[in-house]
Each structure stands twice: as structure tokens, then as C-alpha cells.
Amino acid sequence: MRWQKARQKCKGLGVSLWKKLLHLLLSHVLRLSYPIFQEDTVISPSLSHHTSVHGLTAQFSRYGLKAIYVAFIHIVLLGHVSSLLDDTRYENSELEESAGYYVSSSSMGNRFTGLDEMDEDAWTMVQKSGNQFIVNGQPFYVNGFNTYWLMVFAVDQSTRGKVSEVFQQASAVGLSVCRTWAFNDGQWRALQTSPSVYDEDVFKALDFVVSEAQKYKIRLILSLVNNWEAYGGKSQYVKWGKAAGLNLTSDDDFFSHPTLKSYYKAHVHTVLNRVNTITNITYKDDPTIFAWELMNEPRCESDPSGNKLQAWIEEMAFYVKSIDPKHLVEIGLEGFYGPSTPNKVQYNPNTYAQQVGTDFIRNHQVLGIDFASVHIYPDSWISQSISDAHVEFTKSWMQAHIDDAENFLSMPVVFSEFGVSTKDPGYNATYRDTLISTVYKTLLNSTKKGGSGGGSLLWQLFPEGTDYMDDGYAVVLSKSSSTSNIISLQSTRLKSFNSLCSWRCRWGCKRKHALENFHYHDEL
């Protein structure tokens, strides 16, 4: 029955698709049956991507059906026929991308792979469907990291290699998204030296960061300005405004003064329309970019009602989408509950959190905001002294936001910063591993249920030799084997889930059926 249904699905797809199927079949005979041919002739597996169908057929005419049968059965087991015989709404190029996702060839055999072996054409935009991220119609759960200084390091040739190094190490443990700064305002190695004036060398460094991320199949969340003074931030915009003769009294004027807002919009316009000097792809068209972040950890303490910040989010989300409707947009919030949900403030880490002008649910209900962002820093918000209470807070904080993202916002939530400082009293590596495991396990519980937990980004990943940049939260994978193993295991689980769900759903099943058979270990 399955083959009859598959045959019906394929009816009318045209000769070109069957040629692709035949090409795929024969190319896998080369890959899988390489030992069969060793006795008689030498055929390079690399030929499978460069040889015509007729040429391949001639090569195999003397070997009968044995090799073809073996290859065909292997293709079925790996899901290639499932991908190729999909619904006709998939274009032929997309079918080829699906077929190439699971297996890559080597002269010694086959291995399961992920994004690192995808065809270039398969590198498409991340989108949102309800409370889930998707890529090419498949679920996409984020296991990622922060490394904010990539652009600055890429300016100097002596440190540029660290950018490649951190991407390589992240890719090795399966991390798929990196959050970094697309700003440096008026300071050392500034990208924007004054309003709308840019250092081209620094912009080329950002180009390099984006191109290297693409090379390692890591997507980027690019933040567009800082709330804090580091790398300029809103205070630098206020300084520029004062230098231009504006009457400004607070750094929070950044959110309301028309001139300062025009400075920010000009920066957004410049970055989104930047043509990468290495890839020749405009940023707003580049699928390497996962999302735009309006601001890193916005706060507007001068207006605890939240109205000033709310108006700014509404205006800027609309502006970003007017230039780039393709990419996802998020705010960059820490996740504090505000005046619009007094019944939720109990989840805040302290009473001060509801007075900083942010409002998690209200802010994320803005048109143009695609997913929620939350940070997790119990050692900064509750107490620097490490305790079990930090772990319990992390669980309740995450669950509250996952539930609200699903029930009130109908969008994914990404825990875009979390970590613990090695400078905290009572810190030890075991506690850090426990905190990371807690975050991962909470997300897996959401994933298993089809919830809004979209993923997490560890703060922060460092390569060796960058200790002088460490704020206490640096994770050097080469020096932290236990942490590295935990991260790698989470990546493996999420990729396995994505593949399982994709395989099952392509045969018409409901997503929940795939979830019924998705298992993971209780302990990390």
C-alpha cells in the first residue's frame, strides 16, 4: 500500500524528477557499493556529483541488480525516497535538498550528517509557524551561544582567526545559532564613529563574521544597539545629540527624542541594506542571519509605566519590517514582567525588576515581533552566592515564560542569555553544569510536548587565548570537557527530534505522533 500511495504521489511530477531519482539512486550505488567494484575497476565516489545519468548507467550495466538493490534499500532506510516522493508542492530543487540532508559520501562509506552537509540552496531563511521555528518546512530548535566581540576581533588580522576558531568549536558540538553585536558606537574600533558615519574596515570585519558563520552553518542573531555603555549604547546616541545642540536630560531620551530615533533608524537602514563585500549578499537577504534584535537588554527606568519603551518598540519593529520583511525580529528583553500583568510579577527575581520600564507580555504583543527573548541570571538578580535556590528560580522562570509564550503570545521563546560567573562566591564547575543541564532539560520538556520553548543561547563561548576578555561567564570548550559533552548531547537530541519529526510528517502524520516516539534520557 505504501508504494502504491508513493506511486500515486509521483504521478505527473514529470520526467525531470525521475531523472533526479535515478541520479540519486545510481550515485548512492557508487557510494554504498564501492567495495563491490574494487575487484574489477576503480571508481571514485566523488564522480557521483559530476557524472551524467547516461554515463553512470553505462558504468553499472555489467554489474546487474545486486548493487542497485543494496543502494535502493539503503536509500529507503535513510528516508531519501520519502523526501523525493513528497507532495508536489515541493519544487524539484527543494526535493534534492531534502534528499541530501541526511547522508554524505566518503570513500569509506556513509555517515549521518546535519546542516554541515546541506546543499547551498538549502540554506534558507528561518521562519516562524505558530509557536515553532521552521526551516524548509522542518522544525528548527535552537542550541546556541553568545560571543559579542566577533566584529571587533575580526578587524585586526592578528585576532581574526579567533572568530573562525570559535565558530569551528561551536560547530563541533552542534551549536547552530550565535548572538553577537552589529554595533560599536563612537568607541575604540567603532563601527559607527558618528551618526551615519562608518568605518569601512570595521564593516568589512562584520562582513567576515557573517561569511564565516555561513561557512560553518551557524546562523546569527544580530543586535543593533546596546542599552548599556559598553560598545557605545544609548548613552552614546545621547552624547551625539548633545553635541548637535539638543536639550537632553536622560539617556532614556534615546527612546523618545525624534532626532535620536532618526539616528537609530539610519543605523538600522545602513546595516540591513549592507552588501557583504565577501559573499556579495545583502544582509536583509542573507539566510545566515537568524534574526534582528532591536536592542540588547532595553530598559527605560525613567518611565516605570512602560509606555515610553512600548512606543519605541512599536515604531522600531515596524521600521525594521518595512525594510526587511523576510527576517525574524525580536526585542532583546531580559523577560521581566510589568504593570500589564500584576499577577505575573511574582515570577520576577526581585521587586526592582518591575520598575525598569519593561513588560514581557505587553512588549511582545507588538506587531512585527516574531519571538520572545528572555535572559537568566540568578547570580546577578538574586544573590551572587551560589545556592540551590538559583536552580529552582531558573526552572520556575523558564516555565512561566514558556507557558506565557504559548498561551498569551503564540510564539517561540528563546532564552537568549544564560550562564553563571566563575567569580561568584561558591562557584564550581559542577554547579555550572547543573545550571546548563537545568536549562536544557526544561527546554526538552517543552519540545516533547510541542511547546513554545524555542531554544537557548549560552553566555558566552570563548576560544583559548582570550582570557583578558572574560567577564567571568566565559566557557572555553577545550578546557571544559564535561560542559562540552552536555552541550553536544543537547545538540544531538534536538537534531534527532528535528529529523524524526520531519521524516514522519512528510508521510502525512501529525506532529504529535512523532512526539510519541521521541525519547530522551532523564539525566544529562
Rounded-to-integer distance, Cα 254 and Cα 235, Å: 8
R_g of the chain computed on alpha carbons: 25
Residue 37, phi then psi, degrees to nearest 5: -90, -10
Among 288, 295, 188, 176, residue whose Cα is nearest residue 233: 295
Contact present, 29 and 80 (Cβ < 8 Å): no
User: Which helix (H) or strand (E) segment is 161 a member of?
Assistant: helix 157-172
> Looking at 97, 293, 297, 406, which residue is catalytic?
297
Which of these CATH numbers, 3.90.1150.10, 3.40.50.300, 3.40.50.1220, 3.20.20.80, describes 129-496?
A: 3.20.20.80
Helices (runs of H) and strands (runs of E) counted in the chain: 19, 15
Rounded-to-integer distance, Cα 361 and Cα 429, Å: 34
Q: How wide is the angle at C-alpha 411 spanned by C-alphas 407 and 414, nearest 5°?
A: 110
Contact present, 208 and 175 (Cβ < 8 Å): no
Among 294, 275, 156, residue whose Cα is nearest residue 222: 294
Give me the amino acid identity at 229: E
DSSP structure class, residue 475: B
**Tell me: the pLDDT tens digits for 68-111?**
444 443 443 344 333 333 333 333 333 233 333 322 322 223 32
Rounded-to-integer distance, Cα 272 and Cα 433, Å: 37
Give me the amino acid identity at 260: L
For the chain, residues classed under CATH 3.20.20.80 are 129-496
What is the strand order of the sheet 142-146 is part of?
328-330, 289-293, 219-223, 177-181, 142-146, 453-459, 413-418, 372-376
Rounded-to-integer distance, Cα 223 and Cα 178, Å: 11
Bridge partners for 497 per DSSP: none
Would you give per-residue pLDDT tens digits along the chain (524 residues)? 444 444 444 444 344 444 444 444 444 443 443 333 333 333 333 333 333 333 333 333 333 444 444 444 344 334 433 333 333 333 333 323 333 332 232 222 332 334 444 444 479 999 999 999 999 989 999 999 999 999 999 999 999 999 999 999 999 999 999 999 999 999 999 999 999 999 999 999 999 999 999 999 999 999 999 999 999 999 999 999 999 999 999 999 999 999 999 999 999 999 999 999 999 999 999 999 999 999 999 999 999 999 999 999 999 999 999 999 999 999 999 999 999 999 999 999 999 999 999 999 999 999 999 999 999 999 999 999 999 999 999 999 999 999 999 999 999 999 999 999 999 999 999 999 999 999 999 999 999 999 999 999 999 999 999 989 999 999 999 999 999 999 999 999 999 887 776 544 443 334 444 444 444 433 44
Rounded-to-integer distance, Cα 24 and Cα 102, Å: 13
Residue 510, phi then psi, degrees to nearest 5: -85, 150
Give me the amino acid identity at 50: H
Give the Å distances, CA to CA, from 211 to 269, 272, 327, 467. 20, 15, 17, 25
> Looking at 293, 334, 406, 417, which residue is catalytic?
417
Peptide linkage before 132 cis (omega within 30 of 0):
no
Rounded-to-integer distance, Cα 193 and Cα 201, Å: 12
Q: Assess whether 297 carries a catalytic annotation.
A: yes
Contact present, 206 and 190 (Cβ < 8 Å): no
Classify 104 as helix, strand or coil. Answer: strand
Residue 159, phi then psi, degrees to nearest 5: -115, -5
Q: Which residue reads 504521478 in cell numbers? A: 11
pTM as predicted = 0.77
**Residue 203: Cβ-neighbour burial (10 angstroms; 0-12, 13-18, 19+):** buried
Contact present, 382 and 342 (Cβ < 8 Å): no
